[in-house]
Amino acid sequence: MKKVALLGPGTYTEESALHYLGREAFEFVNYKLIPDVFGATQQGQTDYSVIPIENTFEGSVSLHVDTLVHEVDLPIQAEWVYPISINLLRLYDGGEDGDDLERACSRIRKVYSHGVTMAQCQQFLRRYLPHVELEPVGSNGEAARLVREGEDASVAALAPLGAGELYRLQTLAAGVQDHQNNFTRFVLVGPEKPELRRGSRMKTTILVTLPEDYPGALHQVLSAFAWRRINLSKIESRPTKKKLGSYFFYIDIEESLDTVLLPAAFQEIEAIGCQVRIMGCYPVFAYDKEVKEG
């Protein structure tokens, strides 16, 4: 069994990994903080790590992207997107509030959650819980655990339903995220290719550093892909951290490295003095409801 480090238990990361990897071939090892999730595989205690990398509304999780680029040497081996449905959970209060959400919320004074999750529920928080103290914690599973541990019915968590089951919490309101199409993109990173079912397509991620003295270099990079009709699905600039104003480009390419086209495009880019670092060539699992129900 391959060991997979992730933020957990009771997190969206865990829920998504169970959904796509299953428990048959993988054993999940829980960590409380993302640096420890990265560190476990980097130091060889686990074979893979699962990292949330991008959210539909919050955009890239820059800290995680930067760690992947600067601090660890772990190729991307798979990617998946997973819907994030957020719930307001608290200890069972004996049914005092009946079905009245407003009344129940008026009794809450503190809410724990991951910062990204709070950001995804701004409208709900403003409407029902404007008076509460919001306390960001390392993961949503940890938020639910703190509610259970505190034994205080005036404390709640924004977390997945699975966390509510794990810590025996009552769901006060389900699906409270501001947008219904709220998805997070996760990557599986690790030194070796895992045995996985076929993804819906293959993708390659590269980092390109431009030469300083070559005007129009970015245009040339993009045209090397454009005239070969290679589709790019993301391009983002991130600081190289070497000097102010120096950036590299993180590029997702909708193509496998095995094709003739990609290596030729890389050669063309390198010929003008760009550096190309391959972050991974991997299968993508698109969210498909059938898998979930099946």
Ligand X SMILES: O=C(O)C(=O)C[C@]1(C(=O)O)C=C[C@@H](O)C=C1
Angle at 69 between CA 66 and CA 74, to 5 degrees: 125
Q: Which is nearer to ligand X, 138 or 239 (CB)?
A: 138
Question: Counting contacts by CB under 6 A, is residue 144 touching ligand X?
Answer: no
Peptide bond into 283 cis (omega under 30): no
Q: How far is the CB of 232 from ligand X (least distance, A)?
A: 24
Question: Counting contacts by CB under 6 A, is residue 278 touching ligand X?
Answer: no
Selected binder of ligand X within 74, 83, 114, 206 (CB under 6 A): 114
- Those residues with Cβ within 8 angstroms of residue 168's Cβ, 6 or more apart along the chain or in another chain: 92, 148
- Residue 111: its H or E element: strand 110-113
Q: Which is nearer to ligand X, 26 or 225 (CB)?
A: 26
Q: How far is the CB of 183 from ligand X (least distance, A)?
A: 9
SS3 215: coil
Q: How far is the CB of 15 from ligand X (least distance, A)?
A: 8
Angle at 292 between CA 79 and CA 17, to 5 degrees: 40
Q: Which two tokens stand for residue 257?
A: 């490295």
Q: How far is the CB of 266 from ligand X (least distance, A)?
A: 31
Q: How far is the CB of 82 from ligand X (least distance, A)?
A: 8
Q: Which is nearer to ligand X, 7 or 91 (CB)?
A: 7
36, 49 contact by CB (below 8 A): no
Per-residue x/- track, 158-197, ligand X (CB under 6 A) = --------------------------x-------------
Q: How far is the CB of 110 from ligand X (least distance, A)?
A: 18
Residues 118-137 within binding reach of ligand X (CB under 6 A): none
207, 246 contact by CB (below 8 A): no
Q: Which is nearer to ligand X, 13 or 67 (CB)?
A: 13
Q: Which two tokens stand for residue 283?
A: 């299968």
Q: Which of 179, 160, 177, 178 minimizes the C-alpha distance to 169?
A: 160
Question: Counting contacts by CB under 6 A, is residue 117 touching ligand X?
Answer: yes
Q: Which is nearer to ligand X, 187 or 262 (CB)?
A: 187
Give dist(CA 192, CA 289) in Å, integer.
29
Question: Counting contacts by CB under 6 A, is residue 55 touching ligand X?
Answer: yes
For the chain, the straight-line distance linking the first and the last C-alpha, in angstroms and rounded, comes to 23
Number of residues engaging ligand X in binding (CB under 6 A)? 14
Angle at 183 between CA 181 and CA 185, to 5 degrees: 155
Question: Counting contacts by CB under 6 A, is residue 87 touching ligand X?
Answer: no
Torsion from C-alpha of 164, 133, 127, 169, nearest 10 degrees = 10
Residue nearest to ligand X (CB): 11
Sign of CA dihedral 218, 219, 222, 225: negative
Q: How far is the CB of 102 from ligand X (least distance, A)?
A: 26
Q: How far is the CB of 111 from ligand X (least distance, A)?
A: 14
Per-residue x/- track, 4-43, ligand X (CB under 6 A) = ---x---xxx------------------------------
Selected binder of ligand X within 21, 40, 61, 157 (CB under 6 A): 61
Sign of CA dihedral 132, 133, 134, 135: negative
Q: Which residues would be at the binding site for ligand X (CB under 6 A)?
A: 7, 11-13, 52, 55, 61, 84, 114, 116-117, 139-140, 184
